[in-house]
Structure 1
Amino acid sequence: MESINKNRLFLASCMALIVTAMTFAIRARLETVFGPEGVGLTLEQIGYAFTPAFWGFTLAMIIGGPLVDSLGIKKITWLAFIMHAIGIVWTIMAKDMSSLFIATLFVGIGNGMVEAALNPMIASMYTKNKTKMLNRFHVWFPGGIVIGALVGWLVMDIMGLSWQIMVGTLFIPLIVYAILFLGQKFPVTERVQMGISTKNMYASLANPLFIFMVICMLLTAASELGTTQRIESLLKTSVESPLLVLAFINGIMALGRAFAGQVIHKLQPAGMLLFSAIFTFIGLWLLTITSGGMTFAAAAVFAVGVTFFWPTMLGFVAEYLPQTGALGLSIMGGAGMLSVSIVLPLMGMLMDNADAGEALRTMSILPAILILAFTGLYLYMKKRNSTIIEEV
């Protein structure tokens, strides 16, 4: 029987996530292309055109989550490839808000299918190091954003080439991940391995701890991705090249996630989340009062904060609520992206009617709420763990 090549599957997964992440950076650069100084869309209109990247992602994850168990990881992965390919071609052909909306929807569905299939695959391949390996996998979300931001800067700002060529560079990692996945044997999900029934999986979604984590995911994702997705408009009066700030933020995030193992060991997931909320709040607040070179210092604090949010939220659920299965991870990711789809047009409206500093101040309310929520989670998990030790 053909064995599973974990290293090749993990590498292919990372390449797929690079495609997902590059679309975020490239879309951020497209804001100026389609904005008031380009095609002529308002910032609020662009916010609506970009929302399918997030609710399309949510739709794909909610639908794809249960299908990963029934259809298998392999089929959902190839569906992600097809959606990505269509979305990239459609983006290159986009000329107005409607075509940009449709293109973004296909890209969003592709991105959602990547997360729906590959998060549970990694959790099932590395059952003893779930949070650590999910953090390593998610190195390539900020890593891919760095790549995408630098590609956008080089292709358009330095070389003066068209935005269509910038979007076309997405075909490179897309083809690479297709080749790496081709002909490979995929594992079954952890829920299937554990023999947990579909009925029990759905019942576990009513667990109060899971519901609490879903609510927190709405706020963590909006804090991170709502800010970085609109970086061009938020920082255009503070620094000369906001895309370089985006690359800087995500470079720090990639390094942090690469060495997440040591931090996880010391803080545990709940401690990491509280740490992240505190630094995210301070970073957003600093971004409202800095300009020039000091913007990078504020961005560094923000980056340290958001580094561990997404993978640790997923890792927490995979580690402490494994009975929720692939669907649980999909609901978490879907909730996160859904919140961003709500936040983007609201931020656009704030920026159209007020200024970027006001939008950032409003965004800082989210991590402030999370500080309170994660303090409670930290105390709860500490008490729960001590009770388990006493019983043993």
Structure 2
Amino acid sequence: MSTSTDPTSPHYAVAPNAQRLLWAGFMAILAAGVGFSVRGASVLEEWSKAFGFTQTELGGITGGGLVGFGVIIIISSFLAEKIGFGRLMFFAFIVHFLSAVVTLAAPAVFTAAGKDATFWCLFVGMFMFAIGNGVCEAVVNPLVATLFPNNKTHYLNILHAGWPAGLILGGVASIFLAGNVSWQIQISLFLLPVILYGIMIFGQRMPSTESSVSGMSIGQILLQFGSPLLLFLLVIHAMVGYVELGTDSWIARITGSILDETTGRWLFVYTSALMFILRFVAGPIVHRISPLGLLFGSAILATIGLYTLGGVGTTVAAIGALTVYGLGKTFFWPTMLAVVSERFPKGGAVTLGMVGGVGMLSAGLLGGPGIGFKQDKYASEQLESQAPEVFNRYKAAKENRFLVFETNGLDGAKVATLGDDGKKLAGEMEILQETNTSDPNIEALNTWWQDAQTHAAADKQPVTDATLNGSRMALKLTAIVPAVMAVCYLILLFYFKSIGGYKALKLEDEPVA
């Protein structure tokens, strides 16, 4: 893809190294996608089996990563205005490596201090990973918007094609590596694109933000958040974070529950590939319809796709539902960023960072934990009502909370032991005996299994059915979010029609509320 030196060209770039910086940003977002994908496709399941986490607890770990992502985007967007893009990217490079060190310490922490300490070890590791991701996001979005001022929707979609590219690579790696290599190796794969973006940004000169060019102070930038339009866009992007990233945290495991694990992972790769391809054609689409028209259509498709996916029973039906959902979710994130940048260009890194941060915070605080909670709630309620004795055998030791709600989920390690008829547990006990070592967590699970296995034949079907019900209900209820988004986009379409139509503003223009 070539750039142009003609300021009126849609491919005009403000710097000669624009393409190199664009693809360095692509690699940075790809790194986040690889880590996210590997974790969601296989590592969460292995953590559940190894450490006994419930779905809500796993959602808390993934949510912690997304919360950190959101907080750091906002903080870094202010720093970008003061210290520049280059120093922030170097910081992100260092933190990405440190996050791997902390996460890989989890097995040692589990042996030494138990489940609760392991939860916090993984939470901190994911939070540090999110810091690196958040700093990158805070840099690359305004960087690309600055580099390509005449075609922001197109180039921001290309930049964010790095996300599904990472999901594809991580998903394929999980399919072939899960069960064959340790989760530690799988989770470390994100370091490869980290090294690549580090090489690509080394020694490169980066432009100033659009707000710096326009002479806007931080105080003047913050005044823009008094605009009802910008505040409304923030609310919508919070829903984008919930429905896109929150759902992506779980979609491979949920479809795996409905069908089987391997099929769920391949379907996740398929949806990501669809998104990757489509993000390269966003530019031609918005030349035919406005960005808001694209977003409205996307929300309708996402609603239909998610709700339909909650009721599928075959692989063919799942492919159909995921195709509709994939078409819907593809353009949400980058096109929302483009709309904010086009309507509030003087906001520079801060407005884009605030929008991205709100989306990540919503995904972390509401999406990841909320979808996990819904799975726990509807699985445990069905099992408790239909087979209370079975529920008592498989319920977690303590209740889970989400906002003001409570439920007693199912213990992941117990459910996994039932699923493989205790084979993995038996192997772990053999290792303890052969090495003359002790592991109180494995031994406690084995003590429980000595009684539970006498009921295993009768327990397996109601536990499987309950888990499936939790997965289906989580998807159907999540479909409400894009439905609300569609209404919001329709309101914006009518608003802009009333003021003469949607158009991108330039630095010399005053933003219109």
Among candidates 456, 472, 477, match of residue 357 of structure 1: 472
Partner Cα separation in structure 1 for residue 244 and residue 157 of structure 2: 16
Partner Cα separation in structure 2 for residue 223 and residue 90 of structure 1: 29
Partner Cα separation in structure 2 for residue 336 and residue 64 of structure 1: 15
SS at match of 2:216: coil
Question: 2:371 maps to what in 1?
Answer: 347
Partner Cα separation in structure 2 for residue 80 and residue 4 of structure 1: 24
SS at match of 2:208: coil
1:229-378 to structure 2, matched below 5 A, reads 229-240=249-260, 241=262, 242-293=264-315, 294-341=317-364, 342-354=366-378, 355-378=470-493
Partner Cα separation in structure 2 for residue 340 and residue 115 of structure 1: 15
Question: 1:31 maps to what in 2?
Answer: 44
SS at match of 1:261: helix
Does structure 2 retain, via aligned residues, the 8 Å contact 1:277–1:305?
yes
Does structure 2 retain, via aligned residues, the 8 Å contact 1:4–1:184?
no
The offset of 1:137, in angstroms, is 0.5
SS at match of 1:289: coil
Does structure 2 retain, via aligned residues, the 8 Å contact 1:270–1:381?
no
Return closer, same or farther for 1:247/1:387 CA change in 2, 3 Å cut-off.
closer
Paired positions, count: 384
Among candidates 90, 94, 103, match of residue 82 of structure 1: 94
Structure 1: any 5+ residue segments left out of the alignment? Answer: none
Question: 1:210 maps to what in 2?
Answer: 230
Question: 2:23 maps to what in 1?
Answer: 11
The offset of 1:374, in angstroms, is 0.6
Say whether 1:185 aligns with 2:205. Answer: yes
Q: Which amino acid aligns with 2:309?
A: L
Does structure 2 retain, via aligned residues, the 8 Å contact 1:84–1:106?
yes
Partner Cα separation in structure 1 for residue 283 and residue 163 of structure 2: 17
The offset of 1:352, in angstroms, is 1.4
Partner Cα separation in structure 2 for residue 232 and residue 135 of structure 1: 23
Among candidates 62, 74, 89, match of residue 62 of structure 1: 74
The offset of 1:382, in angstroms, is 2.6
Return closer, same or farther for 1:99/1:387 CA change in 2, 3 Å cut-off.
closer
Partner Cα separation in structure 1 for residue 499 and residue 133 of structure 2: 35
Identity %: 30
The offset of 1:273, in angstroms, is 0.9
The offset of 1:168, in angstroms, is 2.1
Q: Which amino acid aligns with 2:170?
A: G
Return closer, same or farther for 1:4/1:67 CA change in 2, 3 Å cut-off.
farther
Q: Which amino acid aligns with 2:22?
A: F
Partner Cα separation in structure 2 for residue 205 and residue 382 of structure 1: 23
Q: Which amino acid aligns with 1:270?
A: L
Does structure 2 retain, via aligned residues, the 8 Å contact 1:135–1:311?
yes
Return closer, same or farther for 1:387/1:20 CA change in 2, 3 Å cut-off.
closer
Structure 2: any 5+ residue segments left out of the alignment? Answer: 1-14, 108-117, 379-469, 504-513
Among candidates 162, 166, 191, match of residue 182 of structure 2: 162
1:138-153 to structure 2, matched below 5 A, reads 138-153=160-175
Partner Cα separation in structure 2 for residue 317 and residue 353 of structure 1: 37
| Bigger relative CO (Cα 8 Å, ≥ 6 apart) | 1
Q: Which moved more, 1:63-72 or 1:288-297?
A: 288-297
Question: 1:91 maps to what in 2?
Answer: 103
Partner Cα separation in structure 2 for residue 23 and residue 385 of structure 1: 44
Does structure 1 retain, via aligned residues, the 8 Å contact 2:247–2:367?
no
The offset of 1:365, in angstroms, is 0.9
Q: Which amino acid aligns with 2:173?
A: V
Return closer, same or farther for 1:145/1:386 CA change in 2, 3 Å cut-off.
closer
SS at match of 1:237: helix
Partner Cα separation in structure 2 for residue 336 and residue 209 of structure 1: 16
Question: 1:219 maps to what in 2?
Answer: 239
Partner Cα separation in structure 1 for residue 220 and residue 500 of structure 2: 24
Q: Which amino acid aligns with 1:18?
A: L
Partner Cα separation in structure 2 for residue 203 and residue 387 of structure 1: 22
Question: 2:110 maps to what in 1?
Answer: none
Say whether 1:199 aligns with 2:216. Answer: no
The offset of 1:144, in angstroms, is 1.1
Q: Which amino acid aligns with 2:484?
A: I
Select the structure of larger CA radius of gyration. Answer: 2
Output the TM-score relative to the length of structure 1: 0.95
Does structure 2 retain, via aligned residues, the 8 Å contact 1:4–1:187?
no
The offset of 1:170, in angstroms, is 1.7
Among candidates 350, 354, 379, match of residue 494 of structure 2: 379
Partner Cα separation in structure 2 for residue 199 and residue 182 of structure 1: 32
Q: Which amino acid aligns with 2:187?
A: V
The offset of 1:4, in angstroms, is 4.7
The offset of 1:336, in angstroms, is 0.5
Partner Cα separation in structure 2 for residue 379 and residue 387 of structure 1: 10
Does structure 1 retain, via aligned residues, the 8 Å contact 2:43–2:187?
no
SS at match of 1:51: helix
The offset of 1:87, in angstroms, is 1.1
The offset of 1:54, in angstroms, is 0.9
Output the TM-score relative to the length of structure 2: 0.73
1:37-52 to structure 2, matched below 5 A, reads 37-52=49-64
Q: Which amino acid aligns with 1:301?
A: V
Partner Cα separation in structure 2 for residue 202 and residue 53 of structure 1: 27
Partner Cα separation in structure 1 for residue 146 and residue 251 of structure 2: 35
Does structure 2 retain, via aligned residues, the 8 Å contact 1:273–1:308?
yes
Q: Which amino acid aligns with 1:102?
A: V
Q: Which moved more, 1:206-215 or 1:243-252?
A: 243-252
The offset of 1:323, in angstroms, is 2.2
